[in-house]
Amino acid sequence: MDLGNGVVTPGGKSPAVCNAEAGVIFDRLNLNGLTVLDVGAWNGFFSFEAKRRGASRVLATDSYCWTHPQFRGRETFDLARSALGLDVEAREIDVAQLSTDNVGEFDVVLFLGVFYHRIDAIESLAKVARLAKQVLIVETHLDLRDLDRPAMAFYPGRELAGDGTNWWGPNEQCMQALLLGHGFAEVEISAHPTVGNRAVFHAWRTTSARTLPLPEAAQLKPPAPRQNKWTKFLSMGKSKA
pTM of the model: 0.92
pLDDT-derived band of residue 241, with 50, 70 and 90 as boundaries? very low
Report the CATH number at residue 49. Answer: 3.40.50.150
Which residues form the domain of 170?
2-240
Mean pLDDT of 23-47: 98
229: how many CB neighbours lie within 10 A of its CB? 7
Q: Which residue has the higher pLDDT, 171 or 228?
A: 171
Q: How far apart are CA 146 and CA 172, in angstroms?
A: 10
Region 54-64: mean pLDDT is 97
Q: Is residue 218 within 8 Å of 42, Cβ to Cβ?
A: no
Distances (CA, A) of 28 to 24, 132, 196, 218: 8, 17, 21, 12
* The pLDDT of residue 75 is above 50: yes
Q: Give the residue-averaged pLDDT of 24-45.
A: 97
Q: Is residue 197 scored above 90 in pLDDT?
A: yes
- Cα radius of gyration rounded to whole Å, the chain: 19
User: How distant is the alpha carbon of residue 130 from its chain centre?
Assistant: 17
Q: What would the mean pLDDT of 29-57 be, rounded to a whole number?
A: 98
CA 138 to chain centre: 4
Query: How many independent structural domains does the chain possess?
Result: 1
Spatial distance between the Cα atoms of 110 and 50, rounded to a whole number of angstroms = 10
Q: Partners of 4 in the beta sheet?
A: 7
Q: How crowded is residue 145: how many other Cβ atoms within 10 Å of its Cβ?
A: 20
Confidence of residue 115 (pLDDT cuts 50, 70, 90): very high
The CA distance from 38 to 81, in Å, is: 14
